[in-house]
Amino acid sequence: MTIQYTALYAGLLALFYVALSFRIIRMRLKFKIGIGHGEQNELHRAIRVHANFAEYVPLALILLVFLEINQTASWILNVLGTALLIGRVLHAMGLGKSAGTSAARLLGGVLTYSMMLVAAVLNVLAVY
């Protein structure tokens, strides 16, 4: 058994996570802020984008790997992995530009939650 699809999406998401991390580092250097956000809204949003990614992606990948272990069709794994990846990118773009609502942030959230919901249901159904 291999988990090549989860490995692919985990790798792509990890690269994006590192990019989000470097974005914060650049802002910290720019604003000369070592910890916290120092009332810099741009830095605060970047920190939240990074943290939100860290809050949702691990569980989503766990759900994806369980589906792959349960031999779910590759097209389903790819649809779910792509939804997660695009969802996280859109969320980061939307929240990164404005703390308010935006189409990108909304669609990113919808894709992320939809991926997790479908993956969770498929994992439960795989038991029966």
If the chain, 128 residues long, is cut into consecutive pieces of 10 residues, what is the mean pLDDT of each piece?
A: 94 98 94 83 93 98 98 98 98 83 94 99 94
Contacts 24+ apart (CB under 8 A), 90-94: 91/49, 91/52, 91/53, 92/16, 92/20, 92/49, 92/53
Would you state the pLDDT for residue 37? 83
The CATH number of the domain holding residue 76 is 1.20.120.550
pTM: 0.93
Q: Which domain holds residue 40?
A: 4-126
**What total number of domains does the chain contain?**
1
